[in-house]
């Protein structure tokens, strides 16, 4: 029997598990810091995200166990006649649960949420080193239509 994936807005009680998933990753293990208690920076970021009506942090769960996470940011733009767009960030699935449709469920949820919020576009980035992730997003209908640039400060 297939388990049902429940997607819900994250609570502060989910934060430790979220950070644990972020560190359970080749790239994340180099930039994240999972320890108990969590560094205050994660709590501050969580509070900033959840207090902003244009940011949503959601988790995917099986039987109340957090197994996936993503953040969605809704941004108004002057371009596209003042249209809104959604940006998906920080998508992670528990390493023990990969390949079971959790990432797909999260992204489909985000697409539906962007439609509900009246967005004309949904976008995301993935590190060029994440070739599997790029193929995954392309299978879901995303196109590598732009070249993205970043500058670490």
Name the β-bridge partners of 86: 74, 122
For 5-14, the pLDDT digits (tens) are 999 999 999 9
- Return the residue matching tokens 């989910």: 14
pLDDT digits (tens, 9 = 90+) for 9-53: 999 999 999 999 999 887 777 888 888 999 999 999 999 999 999
In angstroms, rounded to a whole number, what is the distance separating the alpha carbons of residues 83 and 119? 7
Nearest to 126 by CA among 73, 102, 90: 90
Distance CA 91, CA 83 (A): 24
The pTM (predicted TM-score) of the whole model is 0.90
CA torsion 87→72→36→44, rounded to 10°?
90
Q: How far is CA 137 from the centre of its chain?
A: 13
Determine the pLDDT at residue 127: 84
Architecture of domain 6-139: 3-Layer(aba) Sandwich (3.40)
Closest CA to 69 of 56, 78, 80: 56
Distance of alpha carbon 141 from alpha carbon 132, whole angstroms: 15
Per-residue tokens: 133: 């992730």
Query: Domains of the chain: which residue ranges?
Result: 6-139
Q: To which H or E segment does residue 19 belong?
A: helix 15-23
């Amino acid at each position: 029997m297939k388990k049902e994936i429940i997607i819900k807005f994250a609570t502060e009680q989910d934060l430790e598990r979220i950070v644990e998933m972020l560190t359970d990753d080749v790239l994340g293990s180099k930039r994240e810091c999972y320890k108990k208690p969590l560094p205050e920076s994660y709590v501050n970021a969580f509070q900033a995200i959840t207090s902003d009506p244009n940011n949503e942090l959601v988790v995917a769960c099986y039987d109340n166990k957090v197994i996936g996470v993503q953040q969605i940011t809704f941004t108004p733009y002057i371009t596209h006649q003042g249209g809104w767009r959604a940006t998906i960030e920080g998508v992670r699935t528990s390493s023990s649960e990969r390949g079971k449709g959790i990432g797909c469920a999260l992204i489909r949820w985000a697409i539906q949420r962007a439609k509900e919020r009246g967005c004309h576009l949904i976008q995301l980035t993935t590190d060029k080193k994440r070739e599997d992730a790029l193929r995954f997003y392309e299978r879901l209908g995303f196109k590598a239509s732009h070249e993205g640039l970043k500058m670490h400060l």
